[in-house]
Amino acid sequence: GFPEVESDGAVWARIAPLREAALEAGHEVWVTHAGLIKSFLYCSFGIPASRSLCFKIPLGSVLRFSRTRDLFTLHEFWPGPDRLEG
């Protein structure tokens, strides 16, 4: 294992300048790494780190959000292709 893991808050804060610059320029932001998706969800929705298994996002999934000021709204969730079959 790893002796230390970067907290969700630290991860989300580390990418903040890039994220904010892209949004202010009118660009979409795509988050494709499971760790960053988890950091986004936990930080944006105020979920405590003690709820470590609060979300299960299958590989290949797509979540579409919009943002108004500091509030995010989930519009669509498409599960990964392995979840669509049978």
Q: How far is CA 65 from CA 7, 37, 44, 73, 79, in A?
A: 22, 12, 11, 5, 15
Q: Say yes or no to pLDDT of 84 above 60.
A: no
Q: Say yes or no to pLDDT of 86 above 60.
A: no
Element counts in the chain: helices (H) and strands (E)? 4, 2
Q: Say yes or no to pLDDT of 85 above 70.
A: no
Task: Provide the whole-model pTM.
Answer: 0.69
Q: Say yes or no to pLDDT of 59 above 70.
A: yes
Tens of pLDDT, residue by residue over 8-52, are: 899 889 988 988 898 889 888 888 787 888 888 888 888 888 887
